[in-house]
């Protein structure tokens, strides 16, 4: 067995690989030991996934959706205490079902005498045009392709040996091709409720798929709590995806009839919706 990314022998590797980090709610889309070697697994955790998860857009999303990390906690977020406009830090305590507010010492006494106060929480933050995002998407894209072929050893060998995948592979692993554009947009509200086959109300945490355009380009598309990202397997350009959207009334490939076989998705039980 050889690693998807460094292509070195990886038969003795001991780590499974979460295609999407556990801190984004992924407990099921996992590659077996050796598909990604221990060295690459550790590198991605420190240098690719961690910077992505620490982006304001992701920390706010994880806080608001109460998605815990491995230690069972969500990241703190910054807000404002009104009417003083004092900056505060909020922490979501999942086990206790409470939110604590950290207030600077210099304003604490004045708050004790206040008759009315409120906390303003951020709901979203913009994503930067940054290699932090594109490298994360590239890593997930390669691993999503491996998930489709994980039961076919020759398929995994194809991914490792396919030279056309080397640019996106090396962008993820080594930061090569620094400028790798991607497309992002919100296609549904993060709190949207869906009825599953049993009639239970759920939220979609993430869903992803690979699709081919009429021009023969392959794209990876992933949606995280309604925030859709797309990246081109073939090279650092996104114009073909924008063209595809224009020709298909901006319908997401995850739901388009052009992609009838469906997609991988992960669900969590949500609050009840009216």
User: What's the average pLDDT block by block, 10 residues per block, for the chain (274 residues)?
Assistant: 96 94 89 96 96 93 86 85 82 81 73 74 83 96 94 91 96 91 93 82 88 93 94 95 94 74 52 34
Q: What pLDDT, on a 0 to 100 scale, did the predictor assign at position 153?
A: 80
Q: What pLDDT, on a 0 to 100 scale, did the predictor assign at position 109?
A: 67
Q: What pLDDT, on a 0 to 100 scale, did the predictor assign at position 139?
A: 98
Task: Record the tokens describing residue 218, joined without a space.
Answer: 């392959």
Query: Is the CB of residue 76 less than 8 Å from the CB of residue 91?
Result: yes
How many other β-carbons are positioned within 10 Å of the β-carbon of residue 51? 16
Q: What pLDDT, on a 0 to 100 scale, did the predictor assign at position 145?
A: 95
pTM above 0.85, yes or no: yes
How many other β-carbons are positioned within 10 Å of the β-carbon of residue 161? 11
d(CA 138, CA 49): 11
Query: Is the CB of residue 109 less than 8 Å from the CB of residue 118?
Result: no
Asked if the bond preceding 67 is cis, omega within 30° of 0, the reply is no
Domain borders along the chain are: 17-55+128-268, 67-120
Q: What pLDDT, on a 0 to 100 scale, did the predictor assign at position 222?
A: 94
Q: What pLDDT, on a 0 to 100 scale, did the predictor assign at position 69?
A: 80
Which residue, among 214, 34, 235, has the nearest Cα to 134 in the 3D structure? 235
């Amino acid at each position: 067995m050889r690693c998807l990314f460094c292509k070195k022998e990886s038969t003795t590797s001991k780590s499974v690989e979460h295609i999407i980090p556990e801190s984004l709610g992924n407990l099921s889309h996992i590659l077996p030991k050796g598909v990604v070697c221990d060295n690459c697994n550790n590198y991605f955790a420190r240098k690719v996934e961690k910077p992505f998860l620490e982006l304001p857009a992701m920390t706010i999303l994880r806080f608001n959706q109460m998605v815990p990390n491995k230690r069972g906690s969500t990241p703190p977020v910054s807000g404002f205490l009104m009417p003083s406009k004092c900056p505060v830090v909020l922490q979501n305590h999942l086990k206790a079902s409470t939110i604590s507010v950290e207030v600077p010492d210099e304003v604490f006494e004045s708050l004790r005498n206040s008759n009315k106060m409120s906390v303003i929480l951020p709901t979203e933050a913009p994503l930067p045009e940054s290699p932090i995002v594109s490298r994360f998407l590239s890593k997930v894209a390669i691993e999503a392709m491996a998930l489709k072929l994980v039961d076919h050893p020759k398929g995994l060998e194809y991914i490792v040996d396919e030279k056309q995948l080397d640019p996106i592979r090396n962008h993820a692993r080594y930061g090569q091709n620094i400028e790798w554009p991607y497309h992002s947009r919100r296609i549904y509200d993060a709190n949207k409720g869906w009825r599953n086959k049993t009639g239970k109300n759920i939220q979609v945490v993430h869903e992803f798929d690979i699709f081919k355009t009429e021009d023969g380009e392959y794209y990876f598309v992933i949606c995280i709590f309604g925030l859709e990202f797309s990246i081109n397997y073939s090279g650092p350009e996104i114009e073909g995806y924008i063209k595809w959207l224009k020709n298909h009334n901006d319908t997401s490939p995850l739901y388009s009839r052009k992609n009838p076989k469906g997609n991988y998705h992960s669900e969590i039980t949500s609050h009840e919706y009216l």
